[in-house]
Structure 1
Amino acid sequence: MYRREDLERYSAAVDRDLSNLVKEGVLHKAARGVYYVPRQTAFGPAPPEDKELVRGFLKDNRFLLTSPNAYNSLGVGTSQLYNLPVVYNHKRHGDFKLGNRTYSFRVKPHFPKQVTEEFLLVDLINNLNQLAENGEEISIRAAEKAKEMDGPKLRAAVKKYGNVRTQKLFSTYLEKNC
């Protein structure tokens, strides 16, 4: 991954040189000012892994790359497949196309370094209105799932990552069982 600003010191005409390298296929443009050397695969050139693309775009290692598809692993009735990875971070908000894929960047003050089951359940309820499934049914099943989970860990996840609606939804259960 290369950023235009990182290459300025090596060329008097960085834009022309980058343009020539892209035309020759040595570099590919991932986003405005972000370039990468494609990996060679049996099917031809490929972009770097998602984490590398996001790291180069953000110029930061502090992000969590996830997908609404991960909610399916909770067993609460979600079954849709989504083609929009979500990037929780501290810098950018909005949908950005990196390479041939669009990512949904969301600025959040807190998110874990790695996805946990507790975080997924809280994130599911936080984003319930953005899912294709019936929200009421998912909420009921999520409350049932919460009963099977580690109470103190779930309480901490709800407090740290849950929005107001999510905290209200789990408050009754957490008070009774944790």
Structure 2
Amino acid sequence: MTALAKLKRKLRPGQVYRRKELAAWSNAVDRHVGQLLEEGRLEKVGAGLYMVPRKTRFGQTPARPEKLVESFLGDDRFLMVSPNAYNSLELGTTQLYNEPVVYNRKRHGHFELDGRRYDFRMRTSVPSNLSEEFLLVDLLHNLDRLPEEKATVLSKALGRARRMDRARLSRAVKDFGSARAARLLKPVLNPDQASAT
């Protein structure tokens, strides 16, 4: 069996691989990757990232965004958030966004993966799932980026925060590490201190 044939046997449809992963299975990775791209067995989806196309009766399916991001980061500790999720808080935000935000511990900046742009933002702590509390803290942290009237959104956000579990909201502020959200939520989380100042 040739080295290229051995490499082909390792590849799984729908999976995304980093070049260094492919190099572990190949004695001539650049040549083999070139051949696989030419054959259509691999598709380049980012810098040093390759996907094995998965075919269905409707045609080729794109890589799952979570797979792309995990392979790009080389880490599964991230949280992908669409700012469209802010709309679920019912605070008057109605904008639709095309660029998901990826909170992670490794990369910062805007990157294109499989034809879609992602906004990678580094954080020391990344929650494992998207909670209502985290979403509110994230919205307050990014208040200046929203196109809506800031004062109106802030007023509604503080009203929503007062109806949330205070301990969980405090935890979200602490885990997210946003001084800005902590300052804006001080009247809700520490009403005694806020009234004293």
Query: What whole-Å deviation, never above 9, does each CA across 1:38-78 have from its counterpart, x for those lacking one?
Result: 22234421222111111111111111111101111001111
* Structure 2 unpaired stretches of 5+: 1-15, 193-197
2:178 equivalent to 1:163: yes
CA-atom RMSD in angstroms: 1.5
Range that drifts further, 79-88 or 129-138: 129-138
1:66 aligns with one of 62, 81, 103: 81
* Contact 2:44/2:51, CA 8 A, preserved across alignment: yes
For 1:9-158, list aligned pairs within 5 A.
Answer: 9-158=24-173
1:175 corresponds to which letter in structure 2? N
Task: Give the aligned residue type for 2:131.
Answer: T
Distance in 2 between the 1:93 and 1:52 partners? 18
Question: What fraction of aligned residue pairs are identical, expressed as a percent?
Answer: 48
TM-score relative to the length of structure 2: 0.84
**Residue type of the alignment partner of 1:40:** K
Residue type of the alignment partner of 1:93: H
Instruction: Identify unmatched segments of 5+ residues in structure 1.
Output: none
- Which amino acid letter does the alignment assign opposite residue 98 of structure 2? N
1:5 and 2:42 aligned = no
Verify the 8 A CA contact 2:127 2:175 in the aligned structure 1: no
How far apart are 1:176 and its partner, in Å?
2.5
For residues 11 and 165 of structure 1, the distance between their equivalents in structure 2, rounded to whole angstroms, comes to 49
CA distance in 2, matches of 1:71, 1:9: 42
Partner Cα distance (1:60, 1:27) in 2:
22
Counterpart CA distance in 2 for 1:95 and 1:172 is 34
CA pair 121-40 structure 1, distance change in 2 beyond 3 A: same
Q: Which stretches of structure 1, 4 residues or more, deviate above 4 A after TM superposition?
A: none
The question of whether the paired residues in 2 share the 8 Å contact of 1:126 and 1:162 is answered with no
The Cα shift of 1:162 comes to 4.6
Rg: which structure is higher?
2
